[in-house]
Amino acid sequence: MFDFHGRGVIWLAAPKRETALLTEAARHKQKVHVSGVWRRGASAGCAFVEVTRAAVEKRILGIF
């Protein structure tokens, strides 16, 4: 489980592959594009995103 802070706390539940990618991206302070499905938990007020895909954003360096 990951929790991200922005306007509020967003919990992410991710499979093993995406968890490894998210962990490494957090260590290196990289931006990540995450796709998933919003789910509601059994408890009231419990909600999370079930991650279906995650990818590190590639930085393009160049002079334009």
5-52 per-position pLDDT tens digit: 666 778 889 999 999 999 998 898 888 899 999 999 888 888 888 999
Q: Are 32 and 55 in contact (CB under 8 A)?
A: yes
Cα–Cα distances in Å, from 47 out to 5, 33, 51?
14, 20, 13
For residue 23, the 8-state DSSP code is H
- Does the pTM surpass 0.75? The reply is no
Domain boundaries, the chain: 2-56
25-36 per-position pLDDT tens digit: 889 888 889 999
**Alpha-helical regions (H) of 2-62:** 16-27
